[in-house]
């Protein structure tokens, strides 16, 4: 129960769509979504494959709780070998697409090969077919979604698609569903574009069954009560969204600013959650219109925003849609502090472009920040940028580059390489603030030491969602630890990584873990799924997933030498704030982490660990 027990395999090369049974032995070992799809990918491709070749596969996967009445149970993930990193990629998204996919009776869709011409996959329960997408190729996510719904005459179809950036090979293109929710990181949309797959459109009405409905309703109701009573999930996130962190992280001196030159941004208060809620002088209306929720979510952290109609971005594009998914913390940081831009409307516009054309705003903004440093150092000039003044703090540069990158044109195509390739191209590799080719999120690891180890060891490249030690180090959840020390951080990171892998694989949102522990989640999975599921067994599943992802990366050519940070974070001390004078102590944390993981000193899982986890 809970699993649909069915996979759809789509061979894009020959156009065949075939249902097959889910491997239930693997489901019991890896649960679903992130873990289960990674197992399938590991078994079916050579990890050394070119991410953009037809031999790479792309999997859309739901978890056993996806589509149920558990809070936040609308998640799905896109799993592949990432175009940005060359590492294992699993990008998680909310919205309503995951629920529709599960209600169409699918645990996973496996895409293999590549279509000769653009196509989209249409699913109506058991009716699955590839349809010519020539009319939608070259169009934005927004136009594609509206066009497919109009073509099929059904506004309830849920659609995941790529924008022009995915078609043009921008390395960090997303898969966007429901207009502004995204499987956002690692270039999963780039892989989708390489397969000439424009969109997946689904209508599902088959329903989702659970093993013990009475107990499931009881456990999910208890879980929702815990979320409602928690200060973060019941008050902070609904009211302010993730943007509640902007001023908090700035005050503790861990807000990466101007490509990590600084750890505090003087303009943070202008782009914060509080600023979004304040009335504008021009029209008396705030940037924030309202909050929004994904399928089944009782937290509702999403934002819907508008731009001042007199702002240059809208004044110069009066036809532009100006009410859409608003800024979340990571995007606001990347588009703002990372580039030194404190123009809230410009950030909102750039974020709309990322939604419209399917760009990861974290990698985009961080790469613009790197380009701005290259520009200020004179490494690149107006000649390379096409006349764009890429000085730190330039709102015009930010918005112009967003449009160019979204279309894969001009210097925007250079930005579309990502910061690693961009900085290598111009002979300054140390200016890329990335791990394994993926740009950092919004926490400076000199001010939050555990995040340094999190970034360095993340299997998909620098990522906060694989081990959010900020929860403990800054917010005190589940217990407060000192963000400025390295002691105890190896065990903290491992615990977060294993637990998060299980949560991602269940089909629920990681934001629930601000309030829930596995003791809250295990009863819900146990009531929904056959077999016995406890917090201990879920931790083991998470550990198994983490080591499987590690094995994929080792087979792909990564080594322990890739578990590192840019020299700036290891050598250049923070200039201000509580962390002033500190660098990240990765050298102290990494050996202990390897030992706790049961890995060799060079980061390879030992035979004993592999055997214990049944890998």
By residue count, the chain amounts to: 615
Hey, what are 526's tokens? 């146990």
Q: What is the pLDDT of residue 571?
A: 98
Q: What is the dihedral of CA 16, 21, 26, 28, to 10 degrees?
A: 140
> What digits encode the pLDDT tens for the residues 373-392?
999 999 999 999 999 999 99
Nearest to 350 by CA among 335, 372, 370: 335
Q: What is the pLDDT of residue 321?
A: 62
DSSP state at residue 574? P
Q: What is the pLDDT of residue 319?
A: 72
First-residue to last-residue Cα distance in the chain: 25
Distance between CA 153 and CA 75 in Å, rounded? 26
Q: What is the pLDDT of residue 52?
A: 98
Q: What is the pLDDT of residue 318?
A: 78
Q: What backbone torsions phi and psi does residue 192 show, to the nearest 5 degrees?
A: -60, -40
> What digits encode the pLDDT tens for the residues 455-474?
999 999 999 999 999 999 99
> What digits encode the pLDDT tens for the residues 385-421?
999 999 999 999 999 999 999 999 999 999 999 999 9
> What digits encode the pLDDT tens for the residues 144-157?
999 999 999 999 99
Distance between CA 96 and CA 82 in Å, rounded? 24
Distance between CA 294 and CA 297 in Å, rounded? 5
Distance between CA 544 and CA 82 in Å, rounded? 21
Q: What is the pLDDT of residue 282?
A: 86
Q: What is the pLDDT of residue 187?
A: 98
Residue 326 has pLDDT above 70, yes or no: yes
Q: Which of 18-27, 112-121, 282-291 has the lowest mean pLDDT?
A: 282-291
Please name each of the domains of the chain with its CATH number.
Answer: 6-203 (3.60.9.10), 257-432 (1.10.569.10), 465-612 (1.10.599.10)
For residues 188-212, give the mean pLDDT. 98
For residues 102-117, give the mean pLDDT. 98
Residue 320 has pLDDT above 80, yes or no: no
For residues 344-360, give the mean pLDDT. 96
Confidence bin at 322 (pLDDT 50/70/90): low
> What digits encode the pLDDT tens for the residues 417-463?
999 999 999 999 999 999 999 999 999 999 999 999 999 999 999 99
Nearest to 500 by CA among 441, 549, 559, 565: 549
Q: What is the mean pLDDT of the chain?
A: 97
Hey, what are 118's tokens? 């653009």
Confidence bin at 301 (pLDDT 50/70/90): very high
């Amino acid at each position: 129960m809970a699993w649909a027990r069915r996979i759809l395999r789509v061979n894009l090369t020959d156009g065949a769509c075939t249902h097959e049974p889910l491997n239930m032995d693997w489901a019991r070992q890896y649960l679903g979504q992130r873990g289960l799809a990674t197992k399938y990918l590991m078994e079916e491709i050579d990890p050394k494959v070119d991410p953009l070749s037809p031999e790479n596969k792309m999997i859309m996967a739901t978890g056993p709780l996806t589509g149920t009445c558990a809070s936040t149970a609308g998640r799905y993930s896109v799993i592949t070998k990432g175009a940005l990193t060359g590492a294992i990629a699993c990008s998680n998204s909310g919205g309503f697409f995951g629920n529709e996919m599960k209600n169409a009776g699918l645990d996973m869709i496996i895409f293999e090969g590549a279509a000769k011409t653009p196509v989209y996959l249409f699913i109506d329960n058991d009716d699955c077919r590839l349809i010519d997408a020539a009319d939608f190729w070259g169009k934005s996510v927004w136009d594609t979604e509206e066009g497919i719904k109009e073509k099929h005459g059904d506004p309830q179809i849920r659609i995941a698609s790529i924008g022009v950036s995915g078609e043009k090979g921008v390395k960090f293109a997303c898969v966007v569903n429901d207009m502004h929710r995204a499987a956002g990181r690692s270039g999963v949309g780039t892989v989708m574009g390489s397969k000439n797959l424009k969109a997946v459109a689904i209508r599902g009405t088959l329903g989702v069954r659970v093993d013990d409905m009475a107990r499931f309703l009881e456990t999910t109701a208890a879980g929702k009560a815990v979320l409602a009573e928690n200060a973060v999930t019941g008050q902070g996130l609904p009211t302010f969204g993730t943007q509640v962190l902007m001023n908090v992280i700035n005050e503790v001196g861990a807000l990466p600013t101007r490509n990590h030159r600084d750890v505090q941004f003087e303009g943070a208060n202008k782009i914060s959650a509080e600023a979004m809620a304040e009335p504008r002088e021009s029209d008396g209306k705030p940037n924030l219109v309202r909050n929004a929720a994904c399928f089944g979510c009782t937290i509702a952290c999403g934002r819907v925003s508008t731009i001042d109609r007199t702002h240059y971005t809208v004044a110069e594009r009066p036809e532009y849609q100006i009410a859409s998914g608003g800024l979340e913390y990571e995007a606001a940081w990347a588009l703002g502090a990372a580039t030194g831009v404190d123009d809230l409307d410009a950030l909102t516009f750039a974020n709309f472009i990322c939604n419209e054309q399917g760009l990861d705003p974290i990698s985009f903004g961080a790469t613009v920040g790197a380009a701005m440093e290259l520009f200020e150092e004179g490494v690149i000039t107006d000649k390379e940028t096409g006349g764009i003044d890429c000085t730190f703090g330039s709102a015009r540069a930010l918005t112009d580059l967003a449009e160019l990158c979204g279309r894969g044109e001009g210097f925007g195509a250079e930005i579309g390489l990502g910061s690693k390739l961009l900085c290598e191209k111009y002979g300054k590799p140390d200016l890329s603030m990335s791990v394994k080719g993926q740009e950092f999120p919004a926490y400076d690891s000199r001010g939050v030491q555990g995040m340094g180890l999190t970034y360095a060891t993340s299997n998909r490249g620098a990522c906060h969602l694989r081990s959010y030690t900020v929860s403990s180090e800054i917010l005190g959840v589940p217990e407060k630890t000192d963000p400025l020390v390295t002691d105890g951080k190896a065990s903290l990171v491992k615990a977060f990584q294993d637990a998060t892998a299980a949560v991602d694989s269940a089909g629920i949102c990681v934001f629930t873990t601000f309030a829930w522990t596995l003791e809250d989640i295990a009863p819900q999975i146990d009531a929904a799924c056959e077999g016995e599921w406890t917090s201990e067994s879920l931790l083991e599943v998470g550990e198994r997933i983490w080591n499987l992802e590690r094995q994929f990366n080792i087979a792909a050519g990564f080594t322990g030498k890739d578990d590192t940070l840019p020299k700036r974070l290891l050598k250049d001390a923070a200039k201000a704030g509580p962390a002033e004078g500190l660098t990240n102590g990765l050298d102290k944390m990494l050996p202990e982490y390897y030992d706790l993981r049961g890995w060799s000193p060079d980061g390879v899982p030992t035979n004993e660990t592999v055997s214990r986890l049944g890998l």
